[in-house]
Structure 1
Amino acid sequence: MGEKPKIEDLIGLGHSKLGFYKEVQEKIAELRKSNRALEHQRQHVQAILDGITDIVAVISPDYRIASVNHSFFEIYAQDSPEGGLCYDIFRGRSKPCHTCVLRDALEQNCVCRQDAMIAVGDHYRHFSITATPLRDSDGQPTDILVVKRDVTLEKEFQAKYYYAEKMATIGLLAAGVAHEINNPLTSIRGFAEGLQRRMATLADTVPDDALKSDFSEYLEIILKECRRCSGIVRSLLTFSPRRSPEFSRIGLNELVRNVLRILHHKLKQYPDRLIQRHLDEALPTIQANAAELEQVILNLVLNAIDAVEAERGAIVIRTRVADERRVILEIEDNGCGIAPEDQQKLFEPFFTTKPVGKGIGIGLSTCYHIIQAHGGEIQVASTPGQGACFSVVLPVTFRSGEP
C-alpha cells in the first residue's frame, strides 16, 4: 500500500484550488468592467452618430448593412436594416448599382463622393453621398462608412436662384428686343391698314378682279401676322422689369367662370362634357391681380384643350382650400401627358412641346412669372399617356417681399 497523503499536502492542494477560483473571479470582474466600459463607449459613439442629422451607415464589402444611425429611420420606413443589402434598402434594387460609390471606395481605397437622386417613398430626394474606407492595422479596408446628406432643399433653392437670375437676364433682353421689333411693326401695320382703307376707293378703278382679290388677301395676311407679332411682343414684355401689379380682393371661382365665358365659342366645337368644374364655393377671396390670374387660367385651360382628344377628352378644373393661408387651383386633363425629361423644362422661356407654329414656349413661363409675383407656386404632375395636372397655390393675403 502506498503512503497516506500528508495533511500539509492536502491543505496545499485546497489552497491552490481556492487561489485559482479567486483568480478566475478577479478576471471575470475585470472582463465585466471592460465590457461595461466598452458598452459605455459604444453608447457614446452611437449617441454621437444619432446626433448627426445625415444618414450614417457602416456597410461591409459584400454590401450588407452593419449599422445605421437614428437619421436613417426618419427617412426610410425600415425597422431593422442591419444585415440587409444596401442596394435593396437604399435603392429598392435587386442587384448592385451601376455606379456604386461604395465599390469605388473599396477598389480605390480612398474617400469617394457621389450626388444622386434617390426615390424615397413616393418622392425623389437629392443626396450627397460620401464613402470612406474603414481600415485594419495593415491599412486594408474592412468596412465602408457611408454618409448620406439630404440636399434636396439646397438644390431646390439653388435651382430657383439660377432660374431667377436667368429670368432677370431674359427680361432685360426681352425689353430691348420688344422695343426694337415694336417700332417697325407699328409702321408696317399702319401702312397696311392705310392701304386697306384706300382699297375701297380704288376698287372701281382696278378692272382686274383677281388682282383686287389677291391684293386684299395679301393685306389681310400682313395684318394678321402683325397682330401675331404684337402678341409675341406683349408676351416678351412680361419678362421685362416692371412695376408690381395692383392687387385687390377677388374670387378665384369668378375668374375661372370669366375664362370659360371667354372660351365659350371655342368650346362649342367640343362635347359639353369636355370641361368639368369642381369649384369650392366656400373658397375665401384672395388678394391678387385679376387680369394676370385670368391670363394664367386661360393659358392652362388652352394647353389642356390642346392636349386632349376631341371626342374622349376630359378636363377638370378644381378650386379648394389648402389651409387657412392658401388656396389651390388645379387644372387636370386626360391627354397625352408630358415626358419626365420635359417636365423639368416646362417653365423655361421658349421651351415648348407643341409643333412648329402652334406655340413659341412663352405661355407657361409667363404663368410661372405671374404666380411668383403673387407669392405663389405652380407645379405639374404628369404621366405620359395618362394626362397632366397643373396646380397653382396662391396665398389668401399677399405680402410684398415674401417668396
Structure 2
Amino acid sequence: MNSTGNELYRVIFETTNSALAVLEDDLTLALVNPEFETLFGVPKAQTEGRRKLLDFVADIDRPRVAEYQQACLAGEGLAPQTYEAQMQDIAGNVRHVLISAARIDGASRSVISISDISGRKDVETRLAKSQVQLFQQHDKLNRLFQQVAAIKNEAERTMDCIGDWLVLLDDAGRIRRCNNAFREFIGRDFQELKGSPLADHLAELQIGLRLEGSQSLEVCHEVNGRWLALDTYPFIDEKGQVNGAVLTARDITETKQINNQLHEANQELENAYAELQATQSRVVQQEKLATIGQLAAGIAHEINNPMGFITSNLTTLQKYVERLTQVLKAQHSVIRENQVTAESRQMLEELESSSKLGFILEDVPALLEESLEGASRVAKIVQDFRTFSRVDSAEKTLADINHCLDSTINMVWNELKFKAELVKEYGEVSPVLCHPNRLNQVFMNLLVNAGQAIERKGTIRIRTWQEPGEVLVSVADTGCGIPPENLDRLFEPFFTTKEAGKGTGLGLSITCDIIKDHGGEITVASQPGEGTTFTIRLPVVQNPHQLA
C-alpha cells in the first residue's frame, strides 16, 4: 500500500467521529483514535500497548465482551459482529455503547468501532413507545453489517463498520471513497459512485448542500421523509494542504419524531392544565354557593329581625300620621273660618291631648332612627351577600384582612351567635394583595366549621397580627377537637368526618388551595375535647405605592 493510501486511512482513522481501536489477540489495545481518547478520558500514550479493552468494560459485561472478541478472532469469515455493552471511562462514568468488531484478514488482530448510545438508551427509558422502533433500527443495523461483502483492507473495514454516512471527496467534489451506509442510501455500488460528483447524487435526493469548508446542517429527504444531520470537514493531506473534504451524515428522524411527540405532549398538558384551572374555578364557586345555601336560613333570619321592627315602626308611624292628620285638619278648619274662640281653643287642646301629640312628637325621631339603623343593617347584609357571592376578577387587589373578617362574620353571625361567644382580637396589619372574595370564603369555611365543632356553648377567638413580611390570622374554637389520625388528611379533597349530607369534604381542600394560590400557608393544631386552631400566613405587599 502506497504512502498516500496509508495517509488516507490514517486520516479516516483519526478524524471519524466514532471511537476506533485495533486489538491484539489478547485484547490489548494496539491502536486507538482520538475519539477513543475523548470517550474514555485516557491519553493514547497511557492506552496503546498498556491497557486492554476489558479495562474499560463494566464488570457485568466483561465475560460477554471477552467471549465476543475471542469469537471474532477465531472466526473464519470477515463479517463483523455487533453487540451492545456497558463501558466506563477513567472517571467511572458508565456508558452504553454499540461495538462492531471484525477480524483483520490475515492477521491475529481485530478492529472495533465503538459508538456511544447512552443518549439512545436514555430516550428508550423515558419513552417506552419508541423502544420497538429503536430495536428495529438496531436489528436493521445488524442485518446491514451481515450483508457487507468481504473488505480488502483495514480502512475500508473501518468505514463500513460505521452506520453513518462517510464519504471522502477530492478537491473537485468527486467521490473518492464512501462507506456502505452511503451506498445503500443512494442505491448504487461503489464502482458507479467512484469519481462521480457528490452534488449530482444529492440533487437526485433533493438535498441541497454546498461544500464550503466545515459546516453542519439538518436536511429533510423529501422522498422518504427522513431527516439527516450533515457535517463536512476539510481533508488535509500529508503536505498539510486542503485536498478535498469528508462528509458524514446520520439519521436523526427518530430524534425529530421524539421531539415532536414531546411538543405535542407538552401542548396536551397545557390544554389539560387550562381545563383543570377552569374546572377548579367552577368547583370553588359551586362550593361557595353550597355554603351560602347552608347559611341561607340564617341570613334570612338576620334580615327578618330588622325588617320586623322596621315594619312594626312603620305601622306605628302610620297611626301617628293619622292622629297628626286629625289635629292638623281641626287646626286648619279653625284657621280657615277665623273662629279662634275659647271654645275652639279648648276643642283643639282636648284633641291634641286625646291624640297624645306630645308623645308622638317625642317618639317619631326614635322610631325613624331605629328604622334607619335596621335598614342600614339589612343593606349591609345584602351588600356582604352580593360581594361574597360574585366571582373574583382575575386581578388581585389590596385588601384589609380585618375588614374581610368583619364582612364574613356578618354573613355567618346567625350560625354562631346561639352557640358561641365571638372574641375579636384584631391587630394593626398591612394590606394584602389578594382576591378578597376567595379569602372571605376561607374565613367563612373556618368560622362555620368552628361553630359546628361546638355542641352547646363555647368560644370562637379570631386574632390578626403581623410578623416580618407576613400577616397572620388564627381562628380558634373550644369545640370537640380533631382526632390525631385525621389531622394529616384534613385538607384532602372529599375527606370529611361529618354525617352524610352535611358536608362535601371540599371546604378545607378549597381553603388550602386558595391560601397556596395567594403564596401563603395554613396549619392546624388540635386536641380532642379541647378545641382546634387554624393559622393562616399571608405575604404582605412591601411597597403598596408601587401597585397604584
Please report the TM-score for the alignment, with normalisation by the length of structure 2: 0.28
Larger radius of gyration between Structure 1 and Structure 2: 2
